[in-house]
Amino acid sequence: MLNEQKNILKPNQNVISLDTLNRICKKMQHGLKFIPINVSSDNLIVEGHHRYVGAIIAGYDLEQVSDYPTPAVLNDIEWKDVEFLDIKYDTAEKVDRLNKLDALYNNLSIEDIESIIE
């Protein structure tokens, strides 16, 4: 799916957590707003890999902050080399914190957010 995209951005990390991606996709499919991803002038994703992939899957229009400073450490990665793994990056505490931020950003209750990702 990523290889079929036009104007595709380049990854700077080689692992995507399916758990995180699933949570983001569910939120996007319900129309929640997300903060923009950060992209360097050479189309490298600096921050926001999971949101970027989630937006492609969900058909979501995700904003980008362009001309973001290029990281000091660059990873020469292509999408075909990115692994989509059934791992959990985020602790339960981090998921709770992110859900609370999403609720605040979208003017929803935490219960609304939790019902979306169940």
What confidence tens digit (pLDDT) does each residue in 49-65 have? 999 999 999 999 999 99
Answer yes or no: pTM beyond 0.95.
no
Q: Which residue has the higher pLDDT, 80 or 112?
A: 112
Q: Looking at the predicted structure, is the pLDDT value of residue 47 above 90?
A: yes
CA 97 to chain CA centroid, nearest Å? 16
Q: For residue 75, what pLDDT band results from cuts at 50, 70 and 90? A: confident
Residue in 2, 1, 5, 4 with CA at minimum distance from that of residue 78: 2
